[in-house]
Amino acid sequence: MNIIFDQEQQVFHLYNNKISYIMKLFHDGYLSHLYYGSKLDQINSNVCVYFTEREGAPQPDGLQDARLFSLDTLLQEYPSYGCGDFRIPAIEARLANGTSALDFRYKSHQIIKGKEALDNLPSSHVDNDKALTLAIRMQEVAGELELTLYYTIIEDESLILRHSVIKNIGNAPVRLGQLASFCLDFYDCDFERIHLHGAHANERNIQRSKLNVGIDVISSARGASSHQHNPFVALVRPDCTEHNGEVYAASLVWSGNFSAQVEVSSFENTRLVMGINSFDFEYKLDVNESFTSPEAVLVYSNQGLNDMSNTFHHFVREHILPKKWAKTLRPVLVNSWEAAYFNFTQESIVRFAKDAIKLGAELIVLDDGWFGHRDDDTTSLGDWDILNSKKLPNGIKGLCDEIHSLGAKFGLWVEPEMISPDSNLFRNHPDWALAVPNHKRSQQRNQYVLDLSRKDVRDYIVDVICKVLASADIDYVKWDMNRNLTEIGSVLLDSDRQGEVATRYVLGVYDIMHRITSRFPNILFESCAGGGRRFDLGLLCYMPQVWTSDNTDAVCRQAIQYGTSLVYPPITMGSHVSAVPNHQVGRSTPMLTRFICAMSGNFGYEMDLGKLGEAEQAEVKEHIALYKQLRETIQLGKFIRLISPFENTKNETAWSFISLDTNTVVLMYFKNTSKPAPNLRRVYLKGLDASAKYKVYKHLATKQVAYNDFLKARNLEGEILSGSELMYAGLTMDRIDADYSSVLVVLHKQA
């Protein structure tokens, strides 16, 4: 790992044993991108860059080869608009004189050991001896703005971390309109774009499409990273598959409005710009004031999407999640929400807990409805200091202590960012909710959004939530956020700063999360924003797991969890077994299928286990015991996607886990709709030791329907297979003539 600057060639080269990232200074300080990809020993910048005249491409004054050199054709590191480059910019600002043409030139650079934390923003953490950072200082020629571009390379990681900082060094305020986290330029346009789209209860579907000439945009303007689009994008070569081909991917450490813009120019170059969404964004920079973009994680792979994901997964576990929780195995959880909704008492929750603990549950979570007079979702958000004593006469502490006495941990639901119109808090402080003058507020789920740009509001939230959490020995908190931002205005900010509110809101979220989680480092926090509204690297810096989706149906969850896995490791995904018919889609699926799908993340139950029959309770007990045996492999091991629910038949899904010591392999296969005369699916495993032998430890499959009892259940337990056989000849899945079937195979590597 090193960062070098070749003074003679004016070339920066960041590299480790996997990748190189190379830039060059041209003429009077123009910073150009040369290369990003597999490690290079060197690059001849006189050969790799070829200038030629292009009609319609302006040239800067005063250059000898003026007709050949143009910013509109140059691959750039951080382009701006107005001085010759007509493509999408990375930065936009209006100077004190009212103009917006920007021309940034190199002034100096610094190579820093390690990586510094970002101001007021979540960011990755790296040991100083494992990383190097290059800071390149640029200055706008008018002398009003200083721009610093940061690049961090980490030992043994196939990725680059980037962010930027703009500072007003002039004598009057400047209005910032955009500050991207990065720009990445490519010579060609032979790419396809992959992104994750969806909706509430249908998150992170994979879409892959060919690039077209022009600009393609994915974005959120909802005040959150959103169910609709995840802050991730990948550019892949057309021949790229899960296990072969080139990938250039990026994900933001950010939880608010974002955009990822891809432009194919008229000269068939490609530009990717990603950062805070410039739509409805404006930030006033007073003299000497700075603004920092969110950190971006840029991953490169020449071994396909699965290798890209493994890089992201390792990075998230090692450098994003709070260190205390990064490798801490998560408890088996049972949540009261779908079991009881608002209708519970202390006695019913204790009975619910006893039934779950008897079957192996380790954490009992009391969801919504414990505060104020909240018997439905129309009231009391914000009144966290008012306990619903009818339901909990002995308080949170009384319930918590009783759960602990039963031998389990105790968790609690909160939604601190919201306020109900019917609440003491709103009656006393109506100005604390986001609003704009002369407009009525919009409601969603009967609630408004608190104005977290205000310090007094943030202080109240921190104070009241900390009092609740200090009132009992609470082990887990589910932090919800059930609506998007509308009427985004603050009564405390001046009119020329209203364009900052959405950004200041997210910074406010980070502030209260940092203060609360720091105060209670031993509480396991789970982010839940209506399910997957804020599944991003930003929140994972504070809360090491996320409720993946409100949709708990085992068929829908295959696609949701498969798409989520492109970036996020299983240890971050909350995934539960729920009752049937499913509360979101009304589907009934076998208990085994629900179990196999849910055990692919942080496993739990979203149901009243005491209401099951004896046979189902016995099945649940076996499932929980098996999960505990496999938990370390699933939560900390390597995750490998094998069959995509978005491709081919779109009726099958398969993935596997390999333990860190490579001795345990867990294969999961799902087939959703039964068909006549079915093909017997062979699944080809990946990542095994071809020369090793593997013994089948566990083989579970959905039972045949009654009229097919003559088909004897296959039992592979005890069989020995070679790694080469499993990878190249494949393993044939059971024939099951039933809908929503699944197969689980656990293999142990033989000594």
What are 126-163's pLDDT values in tens digits? 999 999 999 999 999 999 999 999 999 999 999 999 99
* Burial bucket for residue 661 (CB in 10 Å: 0-12, 13-18, 19+): exposed
* Burial bucket for residue 746 (CB in 10 Å: 0-12, 13-18, 19+): buried
pLDDT of residue 500: 98
Catalytic residue among 72, 103, 307, 480: 480
* Burial bucket for residue 662 (CB in 10 Å: 0-12, 13-18, 19+): middle
Residue whose C-alpha is closest to residue 500's, from 510, 487, 489: 489
Q: Where residue 98 falls among pLDDT bands split at 50, 70, 90?
A: very high
Q: Active site includes 550? A: yes
pLDDT of residue 456: 98
Respond yes or no on whether the N-terminal peptide bond of residue 581 is cis (omega within 30° of 0). yes
DSSP string, 638-674: EEEEEE-TTSTTSSEEEEEEE-TTS-EEEEEEEE-S-
For residues 420-443, give the mean pLDDT.
97
Phi, psi of 748 (to 5 degrees): -115, 130
Helix (H) or strand (E) holding 326: helix 323-326
747 DSSP 8-state letter = E
How much is the mean pLDDT over the chain?
Answer: 96
Q: Is the predicted pLDDT of residue 64 greater than 70, yes or no?
A: no
Taking CA atoms, 505 is separated from 491, 498, 676, in Å, by 13, 11, 54
Do 274 and 261 meet the contact criterion of CB atoms below 8 Å apart?
A: yes
For residues 89-97, give the mean pLDDT.
97
- Contacts of residue 471, Cβ cutoff 8 Å, sequence gap at least 6: 395, 396, 397
Domains of the chain: 2-320 (2.70.98.60), 642-749 (2.60.40.1180)
pLDDT of residue 708: 61
For 152, the token pair is 């961090």
pLDDT tens profile 23-53: 999 988 999 999 999 999 989 888 888 888 8
Residue whose C-alpha is closest to residue 368's, from 406, 341, 403, 387: 341
Please compute, for residue 714, the number of CA atoms within 13 A of its CA located in the half-sphere on the CB side. Answer: 14
Helix (H) or strand (E) holding 625: helix 614-636
pLDDT tens profile 670-712: 999 999 988 899 999 999 999 999 999 999 999 877 666 656 6
Catalytic residue among 72, 550, 734, 739: 550
- Return d(Cα 495, Cα 491) in angstroms, integer: 9
pLDDT tens profile 613-627: 999 999 999 999 999
- Return d(Cα 410, Cα 148) in angstroms, integer: 46
pLDDT of residue 472: 98
Helix/strand/coil (H, E, C) string of 441-469?
A: CCCECCEEEECCCCHHHHHHHHHHHHHHH
For 661, the token pair is 């010591």
* Burial bucket for residue 205 (CB in 10 Å: 0-12, 13-18, 19+): middle
Q: What is the pTM of this model?
A: 0.97
Displacement of CA 317 from its chain's centroid (Å)? 12
For 676, the token pair is 């006549």
Q: Active site includes 480? A: yes
pLDDT of residue 706: 64
3-state secondary structure of 351: helix
Give buried/exposed letters for 363-381 (b at 16+ CB in 10 A, else e): bbbbbbbbbbebeebebbb
3-state secondary structure of 478: strand
pLDDT of residue 53: 83
- Return d(Cα 192, Cα 210) in angstroms, integer: 4
For residues 452-477, give the mean pLDDT.
98
pLDDT of residue 51: 81
Q: Is the predicted pLDDT of residue 55 greater than 90, yes or no?
A: no
pLDDT of residue 490: 98
Residue whose C-alpha is closest to residue 35's, from 667, 81, 47: 47
3-state secondary structure of 591: helix
Q: Where residue 104 falls among pLDDT bands split at 50, 70, 90?
A: very high
- Return d(Cα 531, Cα 494) in angstroms, integer: 34
Q: Is the predicted pLDDT of residue 343 greater than 90, yes or no?
A: yes
- Tokens 């390149």 -> residue: 136
pLDDT tens profile 478-499: 999 999 999 999 999 999 999 9
pLDDT of residue 557: 98
Phi, psi of 474 (to 5 degrees): -80, 140
pLDDT tens profile 182-209: 999 999 999 999 999 999 999 999 999 9
pLDDT tens profile 167-189: 999 999 999 999 999 999 999 99
Do 303 and 246 meet the contact criterion of CB atoms below 8 Å apart?
A: no
